[in-house]
Amino acid sequence: MRGWGLKYYFRSITEELFQLHDKLRKQWPGLSRIAVAIYDNETDILHTFIKSSPDEELLNHYSVQLKDVPSLVELANSGECRIMQDLMVLQQNDSVHSKVISQHFKSSYTEPFYVAGDLLGFVFYDADECGYFTDELIDHLQTYSRLIESLIVSEILPIKTLVALMNVTQEITNLRDSETGKHLIRMAHYMELIAIELAEEYGFTDEQIEYIWCYAPLHDIGKIAISDSILLKPGRHTAEETKIMRTHVVEGLKMVDRMLQNFSFQQFHHIDILKDIIGSHHEWYDGSGYPNGLKGDEIPIVGRIAAVADVFDALISNRVYRAGWSFDEVVDYLKAGKGKQFDPKCVDALIRNEDKIKEINNNFQDIYNV
């Protein structure tokens, strides 16, 4: 994986899924694809997460609002499974997912799964023959589904718990900053956009992009440790105040380490993604950033992505004290910072998604009178 590096290598759920799929195909060779999509209730977005498929490019990095897929909404609400013995019926649907699946496979079986009564996602099985899903096969798949769902929950639930713990900590300490909940959602979307654009070059999988998405809102968690007199100061900071303000990066890393130790999360194979987002999103591409003065490719790629996403949203968004910049003004600022503050590839990856950016900004707006 170029650029991503062995630092982030782990035995992923994707690898586990491939092993399960291999075992299933020994008895049912027509079962050609297993895939899992994860649901985010706050945004109503369904993300591709893991898959075992003969075509690695099939529905890569795909996301859709659940409300736009009525058949899946029906499954989510009913909790029932769905068997489609002839996928030709999907060719009349408008969704990209339905059309792609009907072009590549002949029949399918789908199960929703939940945590504490809340929808967490769907498991999809696809076959290359019509009428393939017999009662015997479905009985077998339901057992495998429980195993797959357990693997997913063991990965995703601790992340959600960690994020919730951080959020509760913010609320308890009454952290009040320009970083609203909507800002954090937007930033996660922008990081996802950039990661998807760079996926081929850096070898990002859907699984890794999901972790980037989950961890993005915690980038500035260390600001909890900064006093309100500095954090909320409306004017420019003094040199000493700036020095204190910059300690939020190290404080954030300390908070993560304490959370990991106290709640036994050290085994997370993807925790370095979180640490790199927190620890390096204020590093500058030319080496003049903080806290470590890293330069160029010395900066973890997720930190370079976060730097662009964070500054973009900070500038384009309205604040209680000012109106946001126009899209063109922000783009000009990012372009001017290429090779200085920002990784040029990350800037280019974001700004070539103008339509998606504007959609995100419209869907998750803060309401201020400016």
Tell me how far apart the alpha carbons of residues 63 and 47 are, in angstroms, rounded to a whole number: 4
* pLDDT at position 187 over 80: yes
In the chain, which residues fall in CATH 3.30.450.40? 6-155
Query: Is the confidence at residue 6, as pLDDT, over 50?
Result: no
Q: What are phi and psi of 368, to 5 degrees?
A: -130, 155
pLDDT band at 181 (very low <50, low <70, confident <90, very high): low
CATH of domain 6-155: 3.30.450.40
Alpha helices by DSSP H, 67-223: 70-78, 96-104, 135-172, 181-197, 199-202, 206-215
Least confident among 124-128, 215-219, 363-367: 363-367
Residue 260's pLDDT band (boundaries 50, 70, 90)? confident
* Identity at 90, one-letter amino acid code: L
Looking at every residue in the chain, the average pLDDT score rounds to: 86
What are the residue ranges of CATH 1.10.3210.10 in the chain?
173-363
CA dist 15 and 313 (Å) reads 35
- Whether the pLDDT of residue 94 is over 50: the answer is yes
Encode pLDDT of 324-338 as tens digits: 899 999 999 999 999
Catalytic machinery residues: 223
Band of the pLDDT at 368, cuts 50, 70, 90?
very low
CATH architecture for the domain at 173-363: Orthogonal Bundle (1.10)
> Does residue 215 carry a pLDDT above 70?
yes
